[in-house]
Amino acid sequence: MDIILTHSQQSLQSRHSFALPAYARTVIELNDEAQLPNIQWQEPFWILGEGTNTLFLEDFEGTVLVNQLRGVQITEADDAWLVSVAAGENWHGLVCSLSAQGIHGFENLALIPGSVGAAPVQNIGAYGVEVGQFITAVDIWDLQSQQALQWTHADCEFRYRESRFKRKHNRHLLITQVHFALPKQWVPELSYPDLRNLPADVSASELMARVIAVREAKLPDPKRLPNAGSFFKNPVVSAERAQELLSKYPMMPQFFMENGDVKLAAGWLIDQAGLKSAAVGDAAVHQQQALVLVNHGRASGEDLRALARSIQDQVATRYGVTLEPEVRLLSKQGVDANL
């Protein structure tokens, strides 16, 4: 029987990038798929990768499973590279290694913190690219029924920062492997404002260097200043509502979506509401990007919750727009806590 590494009363502070002071009753480290049949599903239960999109607002009265499965396999098809990656691999490490091998497509997604297994859950995206575009299938271990499953791209139901994995009733699904197809014919995606002045014949490495430079200028390194990236999703409104807002606020950035709805920039709304200096205790709005909340050291879950609620209230009052958390907020019992 495989040994399952379990630890009781473990601090979660170093296991999530917002670094709140919280404990879990039990932590399991998953290093080998052979361990899976020996893991009992009992709620509260939470699956964690590198913890860069999860915030533990309180002590967690259950089990946290840390997915540390490793391994990358690359095969060649006629027109694409087929890459299968274990969920515990680091995302940015994968992007760098593939790009260096001449396998392109992920450059716009460079420097996104977190693990490969977390990427499909919230369909990570940046600079005009979303990871779901490249995912052909996801291997899953169902912890409840103790069986292996595979979801196709269509099964995953990818949307902006959403997928079927993110739904409440799917929390027992552990991603073990993600399968990608990266077309051999690489076309750089340069539509995003920060990349627009790059030449059309830009090389993949130049593009990646630009993405890294833009991110480093705006987004704090979680190792130096604890944070979980964008705290809220960019809100989506109808075209009519967007037009009303634009007539009142002519400088408001707006992005048209394929279905005709309009995505607003939550960072702009927070910034323009004068909230860049907002803080509760050590929980604060980041100076270079108002959509990111940071922990200056000793923030508690309550500080963070109070700050996020106040931002939500003030943005709603001013613009009539509701900001929803993009991060996963965990309370004692593991359910996503409402702000």
- Contacting residues toward ligand EPU, per CB under 6 A: 126-127, 192, 218-219, 229-230, 233-234, 253, 265, 267-268, 271, 289-291, 326
Nearer to ligand EPU, 36 or 228 (CB): 228
Residue 205 CB, shortest distance to ligand EPU, in Å, is 19
Tell which residue, 293, 267, 128, has the closest CA to residue 210.
128
The DSSP code sequence of 7-71 is EEEEE-GGGSTT----EEEEEEEE--GGGGGGPPP-SSEEEESS-SSEEE-S-EEEEEEEE----
Residue 17 CB, shortest distance to ligand EPU, in Å, is 11
3-state secondary structure of 309: helix
Residue 93 CB, shortest distance to ligand EPU, in Å, is 18
Nearer to ligand EPU, 27 or 307 (CB): 307
Residue 52: phi, psi to the nearest 5? -95, 0
Which residue in 15, 210, 326, 328 is the catalytic one? 326
Nearer to ligand EPU, 23 or 160 (CB): 160
Torsion of CA 97, 103, 108, 113, to 10 degrees: -30
Angle at 307 between CA 302 and CA 311, to 5 degrees: 145
Q: Identify whether 230 is a catalytic site residue.
A: yes
HSE-up of residue 156 (Cα within 13 Å, Cβ side):
29
Dist. CA 152–CA 150, nearest whole Å: 7
Nearer to ligand EPU, 175 or 269 (CB): 269
Residue 32 CB, shortest distance to ligand EPU, in Å, is 30
**Cβ pair 20, 304 in contact under 8 A:** yes
The 3-state secondary structure of 319-336 reads HCCCCCECCEEECCCCCE
Q: Identify whether 328 is a catalytic site residue.
A: no
Which residue in 230, 300, 328, 331 is the catalytic one? 230
Nearer to ligand EPU, 15 or 161 (CB): 161
Q: Identify whether 161 is a catalytic site residue.
A: yes
Residue 218 CB, shortest distance to ligand EPU, in Å, is 6
- Which residues are designated catalytic? 161, 230, 326
